Amino acid sequence: MVRSHKRDTVARHAPLPTRSALSTFLRFLGIGLAVVVVSAIAVGAFIVVDLFNRVNDGAVTLEDAPEVEPPTIDAYPGEFSMLILGTDECGEVSTSLLGKRCSEADGSVLNDVNLLVHVSAEPRTVTVVSFPRDLMLETPECTRPDGSVVSATSKTQINAIYQRAGLSCVAKTITDLTDIPIPFAAKIGFDGVMEVTDAIGGVDVCIGGDGIRDGQTGIDWPAGMRTVSGVEALQFIRTRHGVGDGSDLARISNQQQYMSRLVKKIMSDEVLTDPGKVIGLANTIADNIEPSDELGNPIRLAQLALSIKNVPFSDFAFLQYPVFEDPDDSNRRVPDWDAAATIWDALRAGQSLQLTGDVTNNGGVELVEPAPDPAVPPSTEAPSTEAPSTEAPDVRATLSPNISGQTADQETCANGRQD
Mean pLDDT of 37-55: 45
In this prediction, residue 303 carries a pLDDT of 87
How far is it, in rounded angstroms, from Cα 28 to Cα 100?
62
**Range list of H helices, 319-405:** 337-349
In this prediction, residue 54 carries a pLDDT of 53
Can you give the pTM of this predicted structure? 0.83
CA 256 centroid distance within chain? 12
In this prediction, residue 23 carries a pLDDT of 55
Q: Are 292 and 62 in contact (CB under 8 A)?
A: yes
In this prediction, residue 388 carries a pLDDT of 55
How far is it, in rounded angstroms, from Cα 192 to Cα 92?
11
Confidence of residue 3 (pLDDT cuts 50, 70, 90): very low
Mean pLDDT of 108-126: 93
Nearest Cα to Cα of residue 319 among 231, 414, 404: 404
Q: Which residue has the higher pLDDT, 376 or 126?
A: 126
Asked whether residue 390 carries a pLDDT value surpassing 60, the answer given is: no
Question: At a CB cut-off of 8 Å and minimum separation 6, what does 376 contact?
Answer: none
How far is it, in rounded angstroms, from Cα 153 to Cα 264?
40
The per-residue pLDDT for range 176-212, each reduced to its tens digit, is 999 999 999 999 999 989 998 998 899 999 999 999 9
State the chain's mean pLDDT as an integer. 83
DSSP string, 266-279: HTSHHHHT-HHHHH
How far is it, in rounded angstroms, from Cα 136 to Cα 150?
17
State the pairing for strand pair 411-414/365-368.
antiparallel
Mean pLDDT of 217-240: 94
How far is it, in rounded angstroms, from Cα 239 to Cα 258?
12
Asked whether residue 371 carries a pLDDT value surpassing 50, the answer given is: yes
The per-residue pLDDT for range 283-298, each reduced to its tens digit, is 788 788 888 998 877 7
How far is it, in rounded angstroms, from Cα 225 to Cα 153?
45
Confidence of residue 174 (pLDDT cuts 50, 70, 90): very high
Confidence of residue 15 (pLDDT cuts 50, 70, 90): very low
Q: 325 pairs with which residues across the strands? A: 333
Q: In what helix (H) or strand (E) does residue 372 lie, and over which residues does it extend?
A: none
Q: 131 pairs with which residues across the strands? A: 114
Nearest Cα to Cα of residue 263 among 78, 115, 148: 115
Among the listed ranges 39-43, 77-81, 291-295, 391-395, which one has the minimum average pLDDT value?
Answer: 39-43
Could you say which DSSP state residue 73 is in?
S
Asked whether residue 418 carries a pLDDT value surpassing 90, the answer given is: no
Among the listed ranges 90-104, 368-382, 394-408, which one has the minimum average pLDDT value?
Answer: 368-382
In this prediction, residue 144 carries a pLDDT of 93
Backbone phi and psi for residue 138, each to the nearest 5 degrees, phi listed first = -75, 135
Among the listed ranges 97-106, 245-254, 258-267, which one has the minimum average pLDDT value?
Answer: 97-106
Nearest Cα to Cα of residue 307 among 9, 66, 80, 34: 80
